[in-house]
Amino acid sequence: VRAINLCLLGFGNVGRAFARLLLDKSAELRERYAIETRITGVASRRLGWLAREAGFDPDKLLDGDFSAGTKCGFIREWLSRARANALLEISSLNAQTGEPAISHIRAALEHGAYAITANKGAVVHGYRALTELARAKGKRFLFEACVMGGTPVFSLFRETLPAANLLRLRGVLNSTTSRIFAEMEAGASFDAALKIAQDAGIAETDPSADIDGWDAAVKVHALATVLMDAQIKIDDIAREGIRGISAERVRAAAAAGKRIRLVARAERRDGRVVASVGPEEISPGDPLAGGPPAGSIIHFELNTLHDLIIASGRQGPDTTAYGLLADFLSIVHAPSLSS
């Protein structure tokens, strides 16, 4: 049984769900994967950099008791004191630059740890450089939890679709806007639907990341970059939000058996990848028509399989935490970790 030291950067809903999942799975990890994980570092803006080489008691962490940790001055000291084997980067998103997540991930890789993130910003702004650095260090940089809340997308292509070229993808990636449309279909105005989503804790107080299409744009950028090797910037993505959609238009579509959803697209065209985000009418025969009311769905067109749909209805901090664990086990499972 190999002991593996994990450092959690960010201890909000996802960090807590991850700690809980590790507890739930500890026997299985020992028996099936011959590993024993210890959380030897926890950090957040509020907590600072806390390390404990012998490992924190996860139950205490979940109770909000961080007193066992030693405060470190900066991330390299933290990784070093925690003897980190893997960094779980689950801090909040900076969509403009991906910082400071990218610098933190770089520090972890340079320290000799694996880096796993749920932070889309790090993928959008750092995918190539971080992947390259990980390779140079004999480590890995993985990010399954960034899109579709832990549902396998990146690993699906990496592990199960060899020698397949992705020609086009089209998906509903933002569940907040889906919820708003669903409320509008049920009769609410846009403002009322947004309020319902905010009261349910689904939409943010400042909802612009969702309803102006930024979240979907960031996600389709990550998908296009990783799966289609697209060389595009976020600003290259034509982006239309949903503020302009009237309740009448949503209800008229519903009456005709259709649904309006915020759809993200990426497609190879003349040797480059073109991506966009905007509201679209989805008719019953559309591959996206089966999309769950509150989840995500992506329709992929490939040169080998023609088409492939992947969807998931219930996503949350627990599924995102599973995405992190799946990345971690995919690394641990690979023979290279032993080196």
- Contacts to a copy of itself by CB under 8 A: 21, 25, 28-29, 32-33, 150-152, 155-156, 159-164, 285, 287-293, 295, 297, 304-315, 318-319, 322, 325-326, 329-330, 333, 335
Residue 254 C-beta: closest distance to a copy of itself, Å? 11
Spacing of C-alpha 191 from chain mean position: 28
Give least dist CB 322 to a copy of itself, A: 4
The residue among 98 and 152 lying less far from a copy of itself, judged by its C-beta, is: 152
DSSP annotation of 280 reads E
Is the Cβ of residue 56 or residue 300 nearer to a copy of itself in the bound state?
300
- Comparison of 77 and 301: residue with beta carbon closer to a copy of itself: 301
Q: Please give the single-letter amino acid code of residue 2.
A: R
Closer to a copy of itself at the Cβ: 112 or 313?
Answer: 313
Cα separation, 100 vs 103, whole angstroms: 5
Give the rounded distance of the alpha carbon of 136 from its chain centre: 24
Task: Give whichever of 96 and 284 is closer to a copy of itself, judged by the CB atom.
Answer: 284
- Nearer Cβ to a copy of itself, position 32 or 233? 32
Backbone angles phi, psi at 178, to 5 degrees: -60, -40
Nearest alpha-carbon partner for 142 in 156, 157, 127: 127
Measured from the CB of residue 62, what is the shortest distance to a copy of itself in angstroms? 18
Among candidate residues 115, 62, 63, 61, the one with its CA nearest the CA of residue 85: 115
Query: Please, which residue, 12 or 290, has the CB nearer to a copy of itself?
Result: 290
- Helix, strand, coil percentages, rounded to 5, for the chain: 45, 25, 35
Among residues 73, 93, 91, the alpha carbon closest in space to that of 81 is found at 73
Nearest approach in angstroms of CB 87 to a copy of itself is 19
E strand intervals along the chain:
2-9, 35-44, 48-51, 70-72, 86-89, 114-117, 141-142, 166-172, 238-239, 259-269, 272-282, 296-302, 306-312
* Least gap, CB of 33 to a copy of itself (angstroms): 8
CB of 73 to a copy of itself, least distance (A): 36
Q: How far is the CB of 43 from a copy of itself (least distance, A)?
A: 25
User: Which of 152, 213 has the CB closer to a copy of itself?
Assistant: 152
Query: How would you class 304 by CB atoms within 10 Å of its CB: exposed for 0-12, middle for 13-18, buried for 19 or more?
Result: exposed
Structure token digits, residue 62: 């979940």
Q: How far is the CB of 143 from a copy of itself (least distance, A)?
A: 14
Measure the CA–CA gap between 310 and 202, rounded to whole angstroms.
22
